[in-house]
Copies of this chain bind each other. A is one copy, B any other.
Amino acid sequence: MHNRLCYVAQLPTKCQYLLEILMRMRALADQNTKKTTIYDLAQLAGTSAGTVSAVLNGNWKKRRISEKLATKVRNLADEHGYALNMQASTLRKEKSGIIGMVVPMYDNRYFSSIAQTFEKMARAAGYFPIVTCTQRDPELELTAARTMLAYQVEYLICTGATDPDKIHDLCAPAGVPTLNLDLPGKKASSVISNNYAGAFKLTQKILAAASERSQGSLFVGGREADHNTQERIRGFRDAHAEIGITVTEGQILACGYASEKASAALSTFLKDAVEPPAAMFVNSTISLEGVVTSLREKDRALQDNIVIGCFDWDPFAALLGDHIFMVRQDVETMMNAVFSMINEGNHDELRTIEVPPIL
């Protein structure tokens, strides 16, 4: 290959000369930084690039290359710190081995555990995982998806995406299957927690723990628009109905997930309320942060008197007191479901898998 001077062959001699000096200087400067390619190794081993490639990517037996040459090439590769150029490999093979995931945030145990488990399992399955967090920004979600497409991801996992179907529409024409995690979508298969059952049980638990009092209960956090919040509210209501209590609209504060919003919503509620609630269902650890802060500010003792159930787990939050119950979403099982769907490879049949959370 690859005579870098070939297209200047017709230049006047003097010009050629200068150019050659320039090239040589550049080569000198690059000596230690330029990456070794299979062509370099081929030259060193006195063989061809195709052979080097076959040796290094493992199918040299198929190509009937001698053990001796193979070891020679491998040794040279080690010596020179050869690293495969993935871009070239991907371009030729038309298969990147990359699996992408978008996630709203890293800064709580649920999502960071998702990211970490995803990476581990993806690697175990032979993929190269790329995770990107989209800061709960719908625009960024799409941009991130587009970028992932540009990098030729083979799958895209949309975790807690605000509009997973739009991402699907972006990926489908490119032949890239998507999968929804945590929040379901209508156009691709989904793996989510069994929010209803989890919320139902959690509500039962806090109602039982607060049974000696009767000042009522509260649901804090989340967005009414999203599926998970809806299901959890349904579980919350039904657990009340079971013991003959009807939940009113005023008891539902779906104010968003952000901690400040939960804090603000709770504060206004408490100001208007005659008495503080006996039990609270908090829709995420992020919201819980706001709730506990808010209670602390208002009245140090208050926190210890309200029974709290939180749909999500955090080790320190769990240590906050005996009156606080947490359900932990089963990330391991959810991610296993994700990868078994990927391995199955059937992307036509849409499924929704609901994984029971751990109480």
A residues whose Cβ falls under 8 Å from a Cβ of B: 30, 32-35, 80-81, 83-88, 90-91, 96, 105-107, 109, 112-113, 115-116, 119-120, 128-133, 135, 146-147, 149-152, 170, 172-175, 259, 285, 288-289, 292-293, 296, 314-317, 319-320
Min CB–CB distance A339 → chain B (angstroms): 18
Q: Count this chain's copies in the assembly.
A: 2
Q: Which 9 A-B pairs have the closest CB atoms?
A: A33-B175, A316-B316, A106-B112, A87-B87, A83-B149, A86-B150, A87-B90, A316-B317, A87-B91
Interface centre among A130, A170, A314 (most CB of B within 10 A): A130
Chain B residues, Cβ within 8 Å of A84: 150
Chain B residues, Cβ within 8 Å of A133: 115-116, 119
Residue of B nearest to A289 (CB): B315
Chain B residues, Cβ within 8 Å of A292: 316, 319
Bound Cα distance from A317 to B317, whole angstroms = 7
Residue of B nearest to A107 (CB): B112
Min CB–CB distance A82 → chain B (angstroms): 9
Checking B105, B115, B320 against A316 with a beta-carbon cut-off of 8 angstroms, the contacting residue is B320
Given contacts A33-B175, A85-B91, A107-B109, 6 further A-B contacts (CB under 8 A): A32-B175, A81-B173, A85-B150, A86-B152, A87-B87, A87-B91
27 residue pairs bridging A and B, Cβ less than 8 Å apart: A35-B174, A80-B173, A81-B170, A83-B149, A83-B174, A86-B152, A87-B87, A87-B88, A87-B91, A88-B91, A91-B91, A105-B116, A106-B112, A107-B109, A107-B113, A107-B116, A128-B147, A128-B151, A129-B132, A289-B315, A289-B316, A292-B316, A292-B319, A296-B319, A316-B319, A316-B320, A319-B320
